[in-house]
Structure 1
Amino acid sequence: PEHVKFIFATTEIRKVPVTVLSRCQRFDLRRIEPETMLAHLSGIAAQEGAAVAPDALALIVRAAEGSVRDALSLMDQAIAHGAGETSAAEVRAMLGLADRGRVLDLFERIMAGEVAAALAELSAQYAAGADPLAILRDLAEVTHWVSMVKIAPEVADDPTIGPDERARGLDFAERLGMRALTRMWQMLLKALEEVGQAPNAMMAAEMAVIRLTHVADLPSPEDLIRRLSDAAPAAPGPAGGGGGGTRAGGAARAQAAPRPQAMAQPAPETAALARYAAFEDVVALVRARRDMALLVEIETGVRLVKYAPGRIEFEPAAGAAPDLAARIAERLRTWTGARWGVSIVGSGGGATLAEREAERKGDLEGRARAHPLVQAMLAAFPGARIRDVRQSEAPTLPSAEAEAGSAEDDDDWDPFDPASEEN
């Protein structure tokens, strides 16, 4: 019937086929703000005559992550579990969450580097029924929240955050550095993966806490450099000098002097370019990278004028692309990690690689045609043509002839010279 309306709801819009999306009106629903969600749940609880503690509602709102459907389902379960007033402890037990205050205690002990106290707190929470994986997730959430509070303190005004938690979060954000927080976050992500795969989740969580406490109080790279600089012994003054100012100046000069090894080392780009001593090495690189289109353009469009490692000058052949030089420079920079200067000049270029190869093949074919055996074959088979000419290595002379002291060198052997036909 015309009055029927179909409403499809999904959280995976990317999985819906385009053929369906094109026949629908689309409405993207935003996540509900915590203040609005709290007011909505409080109103529903009042209508149902259910007593739900405000901090219990805050836990439900936080777990729902902006979804009204999830929030209503969780509140329904919490009311069913509770006898009389639903407390935060009951909601926490239902969700398998650790006590938020105790999670902050564990976070504080870890960031202070107190290994024994952190492990004791972890064991106490585990004995109280908290899941080790949930404890690490809460630690990661606290780490993220403190990092956000450090950047934007107004984040602490979230209505789902209690006053005690808000005060402690602001204190953490003021005392802890961003390097320590980001390092904690990265290690917790790795720990969550390990705990999820470990046969004993508690053991894996304990090992993760041990690592976190040992790493949390490590100094930053800047502090290490500062400590090393402060601990460096002062250089002795020149002979016969007695003033402290002279020694300080000597120390400054000693620190500023470059190391001989560093001076002897070539620059990174120079070392990278040393492998390409000739233009043929560049062509070999393009061939090894299997960029056949660029290889053909270089062979047919580049008349080389001057070459040095990192520098190419060429005269473009007829039909060469206008951007050929820029593309060659960009490809070589990507492949070698060094800057290449590729420029175009108006004249002075030699033959292209393709022209040189064609000339070589033409010379080979001419010499092949002059060979009596080839002439005899062409005469015996009218219409035959030479498709290709390939040069093989010169055969080795027999040992008897070598002992006789042949006057001809092997390098001068020519397969198309009638005089050497017997070879």
Structure 2
Amino acid sequence: MTEQENKKVEYQVLARKYRPQGFEDLIGQDALVRTLKNAIETGRIAHAFMLTGIRGVGKTTTARIIAKALNYTGADGKAGPTTGNTDDCDVCHAIAEGNHPDVIEMDAASHTGVDDMRDLIDGVRYAPASARYKIYIIDEVHMLSKNAFNALLKTLEEPPAHVKFIFATTEIRKIPVTVLSRCQRFDLRRIDFDVLKQHYKKICQKEGASFDEEAIDMITRAADGSVRDGLSILDQAIALGNGEVNSAIVTSMLGLSDVTKMLDIFEAIMGGKTEISLALFGEVYANGVDPAQAIETLLDLTHMMTKAKVLKDKANMVELAAGDIQRGRDMAAKLSMPSLNRAWQILTKGLTEVKTATHPFKAAEMVLIRLIYAADMPDPSDLLKKIESGAIANTETAQQTVSTSNGGGAQLKMVAQGNGGNVQAHVQPTVQPVQQEAVAFSSLEELHNYLKPREVLLAGEIYEYAHPVLFKKGHIELAVSDGIREGFFNRLSKALKQHSGQSFMVVPSDDRRKPTLAVIEAQSIANALAEAAEQPDIKKVLSLFPGSKVAEILYDDKE
């Protein structure tokens, strides 16, 4: 095999090649590093660690670094635990390669059961073969079953002195509190944008790859605080650009929208320019940008503009290229807070629509049109101020209606006349709503029949699970069987209020002596079948077919 072929075989992806090997290599986790270093140096080493954080921030890597630090023996095999360099230790080399017998790495996703925990507990009793500590690293520990966690509790509380547990998880809320209380917890934070950006630039330099700032910014934003995610993107970009990482390659590779172009679209939308907005959006779509991703970019811009509106020059506008930052600040200063809030709400709802639509591009266009017309709407509070001050002086009549609920059924209508700004107020009577007929229920069947055409799902729950207890005017008391959806009584009260216009006190009870409608009907059918089976003609038929029974009674529609 040639040397070139050897290099191809031995190639490692960047995420593995530049995996931290010591505490000094960990980036963005200063509090974690300082705590662990102090604990090791002073001998205050916990028997169990819980590492939590998003994917790609270094949980498993930190677990291996801890394992190496605790089992460090130095070149002569006599050194104790260290927080420094471990390159001269054979034990540490074996741990880094993942083949040391005393450092056992388990994937909880594939070892979820009690039997797996029993095997682990059995192994805990035995002393380490060659290392100082026997260390169990369990990744994605939240995947363990409840019984597996319970089986581990006693050992986790009082493990042998030679055993250490290191758990890693992305779902800390799924870990039982009984397990958390037995561990020393460390939360690995997302890596800051600037720290991550510098890290990727250093790796590009080590790899001999040229890059531009905008491309690294794009990769860092896409990484969203995850070192591994960004390294995977960077690895792909270097390969795609044949050693060159530029913004065009990254944009094409990730299907990202050109932020400058999206800023043009955002400016056109907030200015109410429909034709320009749709034309620019069509260009972006033609360049291969996913419509949902474009809406997400507009959401990012809305968020950035809102922060710039509040924080002024202190706002960090990392989403924009260097040449667009001042333009973004100027745009934020011109936009009103209500218009930005409307834009956020419309885009947030629109993103869900685009992701679920059969034709995402058309759905995205509809979202933009909705946003354009909403952005063109005047702010109601500003309009009222202008009307009251006489500032409106158009040649045509400007009319704004403000409804007030004063309990008397009247509507206040304010009309601003052109050229003079004269304000006239007219009180117009409104039609009082027709009073609905009072609704009352004396039985569970009446309640079910009332809701069946109006709230079919709720009526189904009443039929299947509700036990009648007490019915009187404005008061309903029910007991429910296990299996009913949460919030039943609240949903029932709201539905009755909505459809009848009356308030009912719906009270839960534990009295299940009276049967549900489903049980009553089932019993009625069973009685009818038993009665039918006793008919002489039916008895003769049943006797001709041993083991047969009456299954169903069908009635003639003419009867």
Which band: TM-score by shorter chain?
0.5 to 0.7
Bigger share in strand: 2
Which residue of 2 is the match for residue 162 of structure 1? 321
CA-CA distance at 1:205 after TM superposition: 1.1
Give aligned pairs, total: 261
Counterpart of 2:133? 3
AA aligned to 2:306 is: S
Q: CA deviation at 1:4?
A: 3.8
CA offsets 1:31-71 (integer angstroms, 9 cap, x no match)? 21111111111112222222222211111111112222222
Q: Which amino acid aligns with 1:83?
A: N
Kept in 2, the 8 Å contact 1:92–1:98? The answer is: yes
Which segments of 5 or more consecutive residues in structure 1 lack a partner in the other structure?
234-250, 266-283, 292-334, 337-423
Q: How does 1:241-280 map to 2 (within 5 A)?
A: 259=427
CA distance in 2, matches of 1:259, 1:161: 51
Q: Is the 8 A contact 2:304 2:317 kept in 1?
A: no
Instruction: Identify the match of residue 18 of structure 1 among 169, 177, 181.
Output: 177
Question: Which string of whole-angstrom CA distances, capped at 9 and with x for unpartnered residues, describes residues 216-270 of structure 1?
Answer: 111011233245443699xxxxxxxxxxxxxxxxx89x85xx95969xx9xxxxx
Q: Corresponding residue for 2:217?
A: 58
Query: Shift in Å at residue 172 of structure 1?
Result: 1.3
Q: Which amino acid aligns with 2:356?
A: Q
Contact 1:58–1:161 under 8 Å retained in 2: no
CA contact (8 A) 1:110 1:216 kept: yes
Q: Give the AA of the match of 2:198.
A: A
**Match for residue 99 of structure 2?**
none
1:151 to 307, 310, 327: 310
Shift of 1:131: 0.9
Residues of 1 paired with 2:473 and 2:220: CA distance? 60
Check whether the contact 2:270–2:376 (CA below 8 A) recurs between aligned residues: yes
The superposition leaves residues 158-216 of structure 1 with CA deviations (integer Å, 9 ceiling, x where unpaired) of 55643222112101110000000010010001111111111111111111111111111
| Aligned partner (choices 264, 272, 275) of residue 116 of structure 1 | 275
Shift of 1:285: 9.5
**Who is 2:331 aligned against?**
172
Code of the aligned partner of 1:288: H
Superposition pairs of residues 331-370 of structure 1, within 5 angstroms: none
Aligned residues of 1:35 and 1:159 also touching (Cα < 8 A): no
Q: Secondary structure at the match of 2:342?
A: helix
- Find out whether 1:217 has 2:217 as its counterpart: no
Deviation at 1:99, TM superposition (A): 0.2
Distance 1:25 1:114, change over 3 A: same
Classify the secondary structure of the residue corresponding to 2:245: coil
Q: Does 1:106 align with 2:270?
A: no
TM-score (norm 2): 0.42
Offset of residue 104 of structure 1: 0.1
Unaligned runs of 5+ in 2: 1-127, 138-165, 398-421, 433-470, 479-501, 504-559
Q: CA deviation at 1:24?
A: 2.8
For the pair 1:67 / 2:226, whether they are aligned, the reply is yes
2:380 is the alignment partner of 1:193: no
In the alignment, residue 206 of structure 1 is paired with which amino acid? E
- Which letter maps to 2:309? K
- Check if 1:83 corresponds to 2:242: yes
Counterpart residue number, 1:409: none
| SS of corresponding position for 2:185 | coil
Match of 1:134 in 2: 293
Aligned partner of 2:200 in structure 1 is 41
Q: Deviations over 1:353-377 (max 9, x none)?
A: xxxxxxxxxxxxxxxxxxxxxxxxx
> How far did 1:27 drift?
0.6
Q: TM-score, normalised by structure 1?
A: 0.55
Letter in 1 for 2:133: H
Give 1:48's aligned amino acid.
E
Aligned sequence identity (%): 43
What is the rounded CA distance, in whole Å, between the counterparts of 1:260 and 1:209 in structure 2?
Answer: 37
- Compared CA separation, residues 288 and 225, structure 1 to 2 (3 A): same
Amino acid corresponding to residue 282 of structure 2 in structure 1: S
Counterpart of 2:475? 288
Q: What code does the residue aligned with 1:38 have?
A: K
Check whether the contact 1:157–1:166 (CA below 8 A) recurs between aligned residues. no
User: Any idea what SS the aligned residue of 1:194 has?
Assistant: helix
Which amino acid in structure 2 is aligned with residue 117 of structure 1? I
CA distance in 2, matches of 1:126, 1:28: 40
| Letter of the 1:56 counterpart | A
